[in-house]
C-alpha cells in the first residue's frame, strides 16, 4: 500500500515543478523583462563620492599654545604616558578663554584643549584699548597686578600674560607677575583677573571717556611761562586760589 501512494504522489509533484520552471523561463526570455534587468544593472554602478562641505561659518578666534608637556601616570600595569596642552583662544574683540586637556598624542591634546577653551570664554571690558581700572589678584601661588596704560604705550607684560592680552584685544596695559613663574597658573590667574572688573567702575570709566573735555584757557599768572590751565583747576599762586597775603 505504501508503494502505490508514492507512485501516485510523484507525478503530481513533478508536474507542478515543471510548470513552475516553464513560467520562470518565459518571464526571463521576454524582452521587456530584459530591459528592466539592464536598467537595474546600470543603477548598481558606483557613483562618485561627494564630500560634504561644512556649512559652519568660520569663526574669528585665534589660538596659541601656552604650554605643552609630557606627563606620566603610574598604574598597576606600569606607567602611562600622555601629553598635556594648555591653549588660549581669542577673537581680539574682548573675548578670551583658556583650556587644558590631555591626550595620547599632541594633536589630540590640542584639539581637546581648544574645545574646552571655547566653553570657558570670558568677556573683557576694553575702554580705548586698555583695561578700566587697576586690579590685583592672588590665585593660589600666582600673584598678578594689572593696570591701565596711556594710548600708544603698548603691552608692557611678559610671559603668558602678553599672549592673553593680545588675543583679548588689549593694546595698552601694564602688568606684573609677582608670584610663581608657572605658565599654567599665571595663565589661569590672568583670565580670572580680566573677568574680575567691577561693573560700576567700568560704567564710570566709560562715562568719563564719553564726557566732553573742558576748554583750556590762558592764565594771566603764567603769561611768561606760556602755560595753558583749566578754569576749574587753581594754580599754586594765592591770587589764583582767591587768597590774600
Residue ranges per structural domain of the chain: 62-123
Instruction: Compare 119 and 200 and report the one with higher pLDDT.
Output: 119
Our CA dihedral for 153, 156, 162, 166, rounded to 10 degrees, sits at -10
Query: Percentage of residues in the chain with pLDDT exceeding 90?
Result: 45
Residue 73 has, within 13 A of its CA and on its CB side, a CA count of 8
Q: According to the model, what pLDDT value does residue 42 have?
A: 46
User: Is residue 244 predicted with pLDDT exceeding 60?
Assistant: no
pLDDT per residue as tens digits for the range 121-139: 999 999 889 998 899 999 8
More confident: 40 or 236? 236
Residue in the block written with cell 595698552:
172
Residue whose cell numbers read 600666582: 142
Which pLDDT belongs to residue 170? Answer: 93
Task: Kindly report which listed range (12-26, 50-64, 115-129, 194-208) carries the lowest average pLDDT score.
Answer: 12-26
Confidence of residue 114 (pLDDT cuts 50, 70, 90): very high
Per-residue model confidence as pLDDT tens digits over 55-99: 444 578 899 999 999 999 999 989 999 999 999 999 999 999 999
Given a cut of 70, is residue 169 above it in pLDDT?
Answer: yes
pLDDT at residue 147 greater than cutoff 70: yes
The whole-number pLDDT of residue 232 equals 53
pLDDT higher than 50, residue 228: no
Q: 227 falls in which pLDDT band (50, 70, 90)? A: very low
Assign 211 a pLDDT band (cuts: 50, 70, 90): low
Q: Looking at the domain 62-123, which fold is it?
A: Double Stranded RNA Binding Domain (3.30.160)
Compute the mean pLDDT over every residue in the chain, rounded to the nearest whole number. Answer: 75
Instruction: For the chain, give the secondary structure using H, E and C.
Output: CHHHHHHHHHHHHHHHHHHHHHHHHHHHHCHHHHHHHHHHHHHCCCCCCCCCCCCCCCCCCEEEEEEEEEEEEEECCEEEEEEEEEEEEECCCCEEEEEEEEECCHHHHHHHHHHHHHHCCEECCCECCECCCCEEEEECCEEEEEEECCCCCCEECCCHHHHHHHHHCCCCEEEEECCCCCHHHHHHHHHHHHCCCCHHHHHHHHHHHHCCCCCEEECCCCCCCCCEEECCCCCCCHHHHCCCC
Give the model's pLDDT for residue 218: 41
Least confidently predicted of 95-99, 153-157, 207-211: 207-211
Amino acid at each position: 500500500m505504501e508503494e502505490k501512494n508514492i507512485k501516485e504522489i510523484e507525478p503530481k509533484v513533478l508536474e507542478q515543478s515543471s510548470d513552475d520552471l516553464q513560467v520562470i523561463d518565459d518571464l526571463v526570455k521576454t524582452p521587456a523583462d530584459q530591459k528592466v534587468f539592464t536598467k537595474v544593472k546600470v543603477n548598481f554602478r558606483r557613483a562618485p563620492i561627494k564630500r560634504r562641505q561644512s556649512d559652519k561659518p568660520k569663526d574669528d578666534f585665534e589660538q596659541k599654545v601656552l604650554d605643552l608637556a609630557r606627563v606620566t601616570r603610574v598604574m598597576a600595569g606600569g606607567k602611562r604616558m600622555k601629553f598635556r596642552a594648555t591653549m588660549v583662544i581669542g577673537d581680539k574683540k574682548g573675548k578670551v578663554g583658556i583650556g587644558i586637556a590631555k591626550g595620547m598624542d599632541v594633536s589630540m591634546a590640542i584639539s581637546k584643549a581648544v574645545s574646552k577653551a571655547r566653553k570657558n570664554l570670558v568677556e573683557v571690558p576694553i575702554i580705548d584699548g586698555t583695561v578700566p581700572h587697576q586690579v590685583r589678584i592672588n590665585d593660589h601661588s600666582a600673584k598678578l597686578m594689572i593696570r591701565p596704560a596711556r594710548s600708544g604705550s603698548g603691552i608692557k607684560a611678559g610671559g603668558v600674560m602678553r599672549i592673553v592680552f593680545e588675543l583679548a584685544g588689549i593694546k595698552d596695559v601694564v602688568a606684573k607677575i609677582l608670584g610663581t613663574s608657572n605658565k599654567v597658573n599665571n595663565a589661569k590667574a590672568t583670565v580670572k583677573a580680566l573677568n574680575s572688573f567691577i561693573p560700576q567702575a567700568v560704567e564710570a570709566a566709560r562715562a568719563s571717556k564719553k564726557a566732553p573735555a573742558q576748554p583750556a584757557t590762558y592764565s594771566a599768572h603764567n603769561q611768561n611761562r606760556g602755560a595753558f590751565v583749566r578754569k576749574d583747576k587753581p594754580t599754586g599762586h594765592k591770587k589764583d586760589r582767591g587768597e590774600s597775603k
